[in-house]
């Protein structure tokens, strides 16, 4: 097998950057188009997604099971099964699982650009100071 064939073979089983296992749980893309992406997001108990912001897409979150603690801008809410929320573009947001069972959310992203490089986190934005900063 040539080096090129070997690289091609190893890439076959790789997931796109927006799918896969994370330290807080898993993301599975269910369907994707040019201006939307629908994902199943599972967050482990007592874990959460770090605060982030997107400028070119909005998100809708529907809780399928568990309880979601959602922070969107200055608002913080708890969502139970069959409840949902909307995250507008350019709004700092995060979701946590305060419960003892996995949190499952259906996430619908909608916007003109869905690239991963449109995701910024507070440390990137200097909104949160690190422990080492004085």
| Residue 54 belongs to some domain of the structure | yes
The answer as to whether 105 is a domain residue is yes
**111 phi, psi to nearest 5 deg:** 175, 175
More confident: 130 or 107: 107
**pTM to 2 decimals?**
0.77
Question: Where in the sequence is the domain holding 81, given as residue range(s)?
Answer: 20-125
Kindly state the DSSP code that residue 17 receives in the 8-state scheme. Answer: T
Indicate whether 86 belongs to any domain: yes
What would the pLDDT profile of 44-69 be if each residue is shown by its tens digit? 999 999 999 999 999 999 999 999 99
Find the distance separating the first CA and the last CA of the chain, reported in whole Å.
54
Long-range own/partner contacts, residues 28-36 (CB < 8 A, 24 or more apart): 30/106, 32/114, 35/110, 35/111, 35/112, 35/114, 36/108, 36/109, 36/110, 36/111, 36/114
Domain count across the chain: 1
pLDDT top residue among 118 and 46: 46
Q: CATH number of the domain at 68, please.
A: 2.60.120.10
């Amino acid at each position: 097998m040539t080096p090129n064939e070997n690289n091609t073979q190893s890439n076959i089983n790789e997931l796109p950057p927006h799918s896969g296992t994370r330290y807080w749980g898993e993301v599975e893309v269910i369907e994707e188009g040019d201006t939307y992406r629908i994902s199943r997001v599972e967050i482990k108990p007592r874990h959460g997604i770090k605060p982030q912001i997107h400028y070119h897409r909005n998100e809708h979150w529907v809780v399928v099971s568990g309880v979601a603690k959602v922070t969107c801008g200055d608002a913080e809410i708890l969502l139970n099964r069959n409840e949902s929320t909307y995250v507008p573009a350019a709004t700092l947001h995060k979701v946590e699982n305060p419960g003892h069972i996995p949190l499952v959310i259906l996430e619908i992203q909608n916007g003109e650009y869905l690239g991963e490089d449109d995701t910024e986190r507070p440390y990137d934005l200097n909104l949160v100071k690190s422990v080492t900063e004085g």
